[in-house]
Structure 1
Amino acid sequence: MDKVRIGLLGTGPWATRTHAPALAAHPGVEFAGVWGRRPDAAAELAAAYGTRAHEDVDALFAASDAVACALPPDVQAPLAARAAAAGCHLLLDKPVATTVAAAREVALAAEKAQVASVVFCTLRFAGDTAPWIDEQVAAGGWFLARGHWLGALFSPGSTSAYAASPWRREKGALWDVGPHLLSVLLPVLGDVTGIAVATGPRDTRHLTLSHASGADSALTVTLSAPEAAAEAGLTLFGERGRVTMPRWGDAVASYTTAVDALLTAARTGEPHACDARFGLRMTEVLAEAEALATGRPS
């Protein structure tokens, strides 16, 4: 089969460290080009991987069978809808958007155009965590989950390249790392049927979720933890006792698996479980949690 042409939207650290290397090395992909809001950065990234920089995003859509998005969520969403309308399959980043309306627009555009979509939730594609999630879905019988994602992005002295991200500064851990935990809990425990939220220091949020299976989950997320306390984990409690999610590895390898998933969905026409519709549902849950935390309507 001919290689699938995939264009990249975005030129930030996530695009340069993960998306571009994975696309350039994938044997089934022709890296079709790069578009970014900073043309000079797009030109530099494209040159590094021997592809073309596009100043016109619609020209990149025309040159691509699919697009990979490495953009802030509310920049990603309208461009993804346009790409779908142009006939491009979608490899999206999490969260798809930070409003339900924008996430719904992406899901509907993908459905209308009959293009495949995959949302890159790292834990759903990492080599150790993906099979573990499948095992827990098959096992069932879960009573409770406890999860935490304690990031130090905003802690004093942080040197992370992502610390200056305006959307992360505005939306905090709920929207940045909350999707990681939700991407595991929704398939394992079922859809969210109830939400309670408490606020902690800075962007810290404590969530208690009720799930369709009858299980509950308790989550804490923050990007403001001290550097020495930064870690993430999730534990399930149920009929078999207690099981803890394994650590996950290289982001490029995980992203390569997500590319594989998109190519399979595009070839077979079978929707992937972690598609734009799933991304919409995560956005709905996060928007409701944010509304409860801030007192503003979702």
Structure 2
Amino acid sequence: MTTPSAPWTYPPVEVGLVGAGPWARAMHGRMLAAGPETALSAVWARRPEAAQETAAPYGARVAASFDELLDHCEAVAFAVPPAVQAELAPRAARAGKALLLEKPLGPDLAAARRVADAVQDAGVVSQLVLTKRYHPATDAFLEAARAAEITGARSCYLHGAFLGGEFATGWRLEHGALLDLGPHLLDLLDTAVGPITAVRSTGDSRRWIELSCEHENGAVSQASLSGAVAVPHTLTRIDLFGPEQPLSYDTAGIDHEECWPILRRAFATAVRTGRPTALDATRGLYLQRLIEQAVRSNADGSAG
């Protein structure tokens, strides 16, 4: 992904937003309304008053139903819990709408497969909101990693949002960091180190969980995940080791505001050209398979 530079010459993509929670207000609505590549055409949420609050600053329509939202957009962005996304995204795909999807695709592998299958069957464009993949610093790290010989890697994604506040929501508290933070870190490790062939986990996803990953090239990586630890700021770090000096990636110094124009341009370009990026629903299903491996290995270990 690269920072947009050339003028946008296509008509803006009319995007309907599903969801009106904190993330929808803080990111999706604001990003989609900013243009010029997209326009926020409508908002639908199960709480009409929340939808009104999200839509009002941008003059977007408040849809009375999901079907009404589909009538007033050419693409749909989801900012809802995984189970809700897995229920509604296939309907949007069957209606011919491009999809901007949150991670994970669904609450489990079967639900994620239904989303990915619907996208493939309908032939619509899809894209995942893997936030950090849309930052120039991430591009630079991954480019450097491609040129490095990597023997092993250590990584972490840690924060305290599950301890309280607006992001301590039901599905996050139920499933924990593996389902919420795992897709980010697994995607980065898989891309930086090499395709992951096996994942094992230990610990409690609602408190602290450790992942051990085996990669196709023989490298081994480890990942620590928690959303329930008191840290001064979110810690997202990857260190790659090999015969040369370590290569490190740390998000502490990056400005996430730089991600949104890149994400928006990538999605709109994919919609207008019909060519999705590599971060599509197929990628989301791949990441969900890795998460399922981790879940099963932990359950098998506990049973033993």
By how many angstroms is 1:202 displaced?
5.0
By how many angstroms is 1:99 displaced?
1.2
By how many angstroms is 1:161 displaced?
1.7
> Equivalences for 1:62-77 in 2 at 5 Å?
62-77=71-86
Code of the residue aligned with 2:159 in structure 1: it is G
Aligned length in residues: 292
CA distance in 2, matches of 1:135, 1:85: 40
Q: Does 1:38 align with 2:47?
A: yes
The residue number in structure 2 matching 1:241 is 245
The residue number in structure 2 matching 1:15 is 24
User: CA contact under 8 A between 1:23 and 1:256: conserved in structure 2?
Assistant: no
Distance 1:134 1:106, change over 3 A: farther
Distance 1:198 1:151, change over 3 A: same
Partner SS state of residue 142, structure 1: coil
The residue number in structure 2 matching 1:116 is 125
Stretches of structure 1 lacking an aligned partner (at least 5 in a row)? none
User: CA contact under 8 A between 2:173 and 2:206: conserved in structure 1?
Assistant: no
Partner SS state of residue 151, structure 2: strand
> Equivalences for 1:18-167 in 2 at 5 Å?
18-137=27-146, 139-155=147-163, 158=164, 160-163=165-168, 165-167=169-171
Partner SS state of residue 239, structure 2: strand
CA deviations 1:114-153 (Å, max 9, x no partner) are 111110111211232233223323x142111100112112
Partner SS state of residue 275, structure 2: coil
Q: Does 1:284 align with 2:293?
A: no
CA distance in 1, matches of 2:191, 2:234: 26
CA distance in 2, matches of 1:281, 1:28: 28
Q: Does 1:172 align with 2:166?
A: no
Stretches of structure 2 lacking an aligned partner (at least 5 in a row)? 1-9
Distance 1:201 1:19, change over 3 A: closer
CA deviations 1:211-261 (Å, max 9, x no partner) are 112211101101121234852211111243201114263444313322211
Code of the residue aligned with 1:82 in structure 2: it is R
CA distance in 2, matches of 1:106, 1:51: 27
User: CA contact under 8 A between 2:38 and 2:268: conserved in structure 1?
Assistant: no
The residue number in structure 2 matching 1:220 is 224
Partner SS state of residue 219, structure 1: strand
By how many angstroms is 1:184 displaced?
0.7
Partner SS state of residue 7, structure 1: strand
Distance 1:51 1:271, change over 3 A: closer
Partner SS state of residue 220, structure 1: strand
The residue number in structure 2 matching 1:264 is 269
What RMSD over aligned residues (CA atoms) do the two structures have, in Å? 2.0
CA distance in 1, matches of 2:102, 2:143: 21
CA distance in 1, matches of 2:108, 2:286: 11
Determine what percentage of the aligned residue pairs are the same residue: 36
CA deviations 1:66-108 (Å, max 9, x no partner) are 1111111111112111111111111111111121111111111
Distance 1:27 1:235, change over 3 A: same
CA distance in 2, matches of 1:6, 1:142: 41
* TM-score using structure 1 length: 0.92
CA distance in 2, matches of 1:229, 1:14: 18
Distance 1:187 1:202, change over 3 A: closer
